[in-house]
Each structure stands twice: as C-alpha cells, then as structure tokens.
C-alpha cells in the first residue's frame, strides 16, 4: 500500500567527525522516521558523558555498553540510528547491524575529521598528534567500514546534499 515505507530502519556508521549525528537527524526528518544516537543513549542510561566512561571504566567497558545498546536498537522499527565511530568495528556488531541493515557508511578526509573534532571531547583523539591518530585509526578501521551497504562522502558538502545522496542510494 502507499502507507508502506520503503525504509523503516537505517544506521549511519563511519569515523568520528564524518557527520553521523547531524546527517542522521536530517535524514530522519527527510524519511519521517524516529532518530536515535547511540552515544546519547549510552550517556543517558549511564548518567555519564562518554569521556567520563572512558576515564572511569576504560574503553573495554565502553565497548560492552555499546554492544548492548546496539542489540537494543536493532529491535526498534521506523528509526534512523546514528552509531558511535567504533560501533561498526567488531565483527559481532557488524553482523548484528547488517542483518537489520542497511548500514550507510559516511566518510571524510583526515583533515576534515580533525577540523570537525578538534574542539570536542573524543577520548581516542586526546593525544599530541591527533591527525596522526586519526590516520592510524582510519587505516585500522578501513576494512571494517568497507563492510557497509552504502558509502557516502561528507567532505566539503552541505548536509542537504548528503541526505539526498543517501535517499537516492536507499531507493
Ligand atoms: C568513538 C567514537 C565516538 C564515541 C567514542 C568512541 C570511536 O563517537 O563513540 O568516543 O571509537 O570512534 P563519534 O563517532 O560520534 O564521535
């Protein structure tokens, strides 16, 4: 019927600073779906900011919370899900998300990522050489991100344009 929606669930994956939250929110408006940002859910559920979780409990514990939240969001319907940058790295998370799919992977250059993240608190980028860290992590994660269904660059592009490209590719 005409009330049937072509897309009822979509996740946005990709590195920090590629625009997952911003684009995810706009995409959810465009598709008339709900919006969930998994990092925000983790913060709400734990009552802690992401950097505090890393500081108090370490990355391992954060990854456990993250996997638990991913299991929950795959049970939702009519939703656009913006993932944390590391959510699509572990094999079990990839399998879970791809089975629910589609997974849209956003990308941007290391310079753009640096510019978009430098004034924010990303525990993994708290280093003397954030650009170097960005490059190393991107390299380490590239084969994981390549497992997505749809790939869209957000580099130097306006969010409306990115959203339209995603919508076209989802069809
Ligand atoms: C992380 C990305 C962050 C957040 C945490 C770890 C990562 O999310 O989940 O700091 O491992 O790439 P954003 O991609 O929204 O910055």
Q: Which atom of ligand 1 is nearest to the CA of 37?
A: 15
- Per-residue pLDDT band at 117 (split at 50, 70, 90): very high
> How much is the average pLDDT of 153-160?
97
Sign of the dihedral through C-alpha 119, 121, 126, 132: negative
**What residues are paired with 63 via a beta bridge?**
none
- Per-residue pLDDT band at 109 (split at 50, 70, 90): very high
Sign of the dihedral through C-alpha 139, 146, 155, 41: negative
Q: What is the pLDDT of residue 45?
A: 96
CATH number of 9-170: 3.40.50.300
For residue range 1-56, list pLDDT tens digits in order. Answer: 556 668 999 999 999 999 999 999 999 999 999 999 999 999 999 999 999 999 99
Q: Residue 171: is its pLDDT beyond 60? A: yes
Other Cβ atoms within 10 Å of 169 Cβ, number? 13
Q: Show Cβ contacts of residue 137 under 8 Å, excluding neighbours closer than 6 positions.
A: 15, 124
CB of 24 closer than 6 angstroms to any ligand 1 atom: no
Q: What is the pLDDT of residue 110?
A: 97
> How much is the average pLDDT of 66-79?
97
What Cα–Cα distance (Å) separates residue 105 from each residue in 23, 38, 149?
A: 11, 15, 7
> How much is the average pLDDT of 126-150?
97
CB of 85 closer than 6 angstroms to any ligand 1 atom: yes
Distance 83 CA to ligand 1 centre (A): 8
Question: In the chain, where does DSSP find H-type helix?
Answer: 20-31, 38-46, 50-57, 59-73, 91-100, 110-117, 130-145, 159-170
Give the sheet arrangement for strand 34-37, strand by strand: 34-37, 79-82, 9-14, 103-107, 150-153
CB of 123 closer than 6 angstroms to any ligand 1 atom: yes
Q: Does the ipTM surpass 0.95?
A: yes
What Cα–Cα distance (Å) separates residue 8 from each residue in 28, 56, 170?
A: 10, 37, 11
**Residue 70, token pair as written in the block:** 């991913």
């Amino acid at each position: 019927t005409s009330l049937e929606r072509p897309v009822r669930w979509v996740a946005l994956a990709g590195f920090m600073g590629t625009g997952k939250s911003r684009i995810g929110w706009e995409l959810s408006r465009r598709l008339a779906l709900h919006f969930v940002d998994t990092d925000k859910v983790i913060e709400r559920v734990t009552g802690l900011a992401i950097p505090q979780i890393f500081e108090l409990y370490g990355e391992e514990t954060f990854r456990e919370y993250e996997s638990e939240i991913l299991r929950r969001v795959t049970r939702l319907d009519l939703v656009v899900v913006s993932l944390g940058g590391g959510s699509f790295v572990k094999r079990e998370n990839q399998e879970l998300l791809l089975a629910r799919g589609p997974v849209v992977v956003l990308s941007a250059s290391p310079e753009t990522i640096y510019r978009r993240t430098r004034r924010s608190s990303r525990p993994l980028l708290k280093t003397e050489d954030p650009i170097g860290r960005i490059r190393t992590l991107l390299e380490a994660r590239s084969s994981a991100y390549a497992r997505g269904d749809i790939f869209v660059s957000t580099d130097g592009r306006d969010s409306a344009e990115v959203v339209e490209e995603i919508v076209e590719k989802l069809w």
